[in-house]
């Protein structure tokens, strides 16, 4: 399945009840041959309206985080575990994640990134198929289940807006991710 076929499948998806309440699907954006792929949890209200992941204040912070390590937003591929906004921004339900899992897995295969940066506990737990808390997932190199791609976990930008004291830890995570990709290039 290529990008066009996958995108069409996502737009037409009615696998779960969220499809009844969404304004639009939020497929993903960015460089489809990127070295880095950023994966979040699910679209919020603004993402649902615009059809693009990580817009608004959290998106601006993500853009700034990437710039701080020398990467422009356009040079990464950004997607979410869920392709539709859960009502009232609630956490995704297991069946919803399961219904979207194949879409995300195919995006990862198509991008074939050198590194996946997962932002937030829910995205990390779902991608890595674990119930470990974020604090235990940070600071370590993980592997994506299907592809073996290196995965680094950090805080979600929306969380960092509420808890700016943790920006320093997120910075350390970004430097760690950069170190992993730099090592692979040598």
- CATH number for the domain that contains residue 60: 3.40.470.10
Report the pLDDT value the prediction gives residue 37, as an integer from 0 to 100.
98
Nearest CA-CA partner of 70 in 163, 184, 182, 185:
182
Report the pLDDT value the prediction gives residue 183, as an integer from 0 to 100.
86
pLDDT single digits (tens) 90-139 = 999 999 999 999 999 999 999 999 999 999 999 999 999 999 999 999 99
pLDDT single digits (tens) 48-81 = 999 999 999 999 999 999 999 999 999 999 999 9
Q: pLDDT class for 186, splitting at 50, 70, 90?
A: low
Number of domains in the chain: 1
SS3 (DSSP) at 152: strand
Contacts of 78 (CB under 8 A, 6+ apart): 28, 29, 30, 37, 38, 39, 40, 53, 54, 62
Read out DSSP for 94-139? Answer: HHHHHHHHHHHHHHHHHH--SEEEEESHHHHHHHHT----HHHHTT
Domain that holds residue 38: 3-185
Nearest CA-CA partner of 121 in 1, 6, 12, 39:
39
């Amino acid at each position: 399945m290529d990008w066009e076929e996958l995108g069409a499948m996502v737009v037409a998806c009615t696998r779960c009840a969220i499809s009844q309440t969404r304004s639009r699907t939020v497929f993903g954006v960015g460089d489809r041959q990127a070295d880095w792929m950023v994966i979040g949890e699910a679209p919020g209200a603004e993402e649902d309206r615009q059809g693009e992941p990580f817009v608004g204040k959290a998106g601006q912070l993500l853009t700034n985080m990437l710039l701080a390590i020398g990467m422009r937003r356009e040079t990464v591929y950004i997607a979410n575990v869920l392709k539709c906004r859960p009502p009232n921004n609630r956490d995704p339900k297991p069946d919803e994640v399961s219904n979207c899992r194949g879409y995300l897995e195919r995006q990862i295969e198509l991008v074939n990134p050198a590194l996946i940066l997962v932002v937030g506990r829910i995205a990390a737990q779902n991608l890595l198929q674990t119930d470990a808390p974020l604090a235990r997932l940070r600071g370590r190199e993980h592997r994506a289940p299907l592809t073996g791609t290196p995965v680094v976990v950090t805080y979600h930008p929306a969380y960092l807006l509420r808890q700016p004291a943790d920006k320093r830890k997120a910075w350390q995570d970004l430097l760690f991710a950069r170190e992993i990709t730099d090592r692979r290039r040598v």
